[in-house]
Amino acid sequence: MTNIIKASTVPVINNKFPASLPEPWLKQWNELLEKQTATQRVEWAMENLPSQFVLSSSFGIQSAVMLHMLTKIDANIPVLITDTGYLFPETYQFIEQLTDRLNLNLKVFSAKESAAWQQAKYGEEWATDETSLKAYNRRNKVEPLERGLSELQAGTWFSGVRRQQSTHRESLSVVSILRGRFKVHPIIDWSNKDVHQYLTANNLPYHPLWEEGYVSVGDVHSTRPLTAGMDESDTRFSGMQRECGLHTDGDGI
């Protein structure tokens, strides 16, 4: 991906297709979309895939890219975040900052039991073993996300995941079908350099913890800064797993 430029004003998007799952077309679509820019991918999705359109965001290190790009095309697109109750104070401040600056249509979803209630009931699941971690992620991330997408009647879900981020994500395509919805990854092939160029060109910030060595930011209890000798995957969940289940068909990780 080269020639990063500022997001520009685009024509009004008119959705063409009703909700459907034409899987035989996916390969052809992706062959086309691999050759397009991120903004062109968003425009194509909004012209050809079923509404409602929803953008999920973790408000992580690079999240300003997708928040800026999508709201330039659809200023009122719902932005869905799952709040575990254990996000860094800097993350909550980042949410407030970007919501104000970009006038985001923010939609917050959380587990049905509070973080304190869960800890009293289940203990520190994230620090126990992989099975407990899966249960924690399923309850605090996957279920609230799915509930949010359902309540928002999402037909197409945009996400800012990139192939460079993990082994699992290396195999992801621009558009796919996940848990009965279309899922679109406009910046799937972007490098860290591409992200930096877009943020710089549009005067957008990284997450505040970027300056402290964090390359990925989740919960306080399961995120560490990247230090010498570590792989990026070691910075989340003590290296047990990188995926929390939001972007896979799994039940928690």
Residue tagged active-site, from 38, 66, 80, 244: 244
Residue 115 CA to residue 98 CA, distance in Å, equals 25
Tokens 């197409």 -> residue: 156
Which whole-number Å values give the CA distances from 33 to 21, 70, 99, in the listed order?
17, 17, 29
Listed in sequence order, the DSSP H helices in 103-252 are: 115-122, 130-137, 143-151, 192-201
Centre a 10 Å sphere on the Cβ of residue 166 and count the other Cβ atoms it contains.
Answer: 18
Question: What is residue 107's DSSP assignment?
Answer: E
Residue 108 CA to residue 90 CA, distance in Å, equals 17
Question: What is residue 241's DSSP assignment?
Answer: -
The rounded radius of gyration (Å) of the Cα atoms in the chain is 18
Residue 116 is a catalytic residue: no
Residue 151 CA to residue 160 CA, distance in Å, equals 21
- Angle CA(26)–CA(46)–CA(250) in degrees, nearest 5? 50
Residue 234 CA to residue 14 CA, distance in Å, equals 43
Catalytic residues: 244
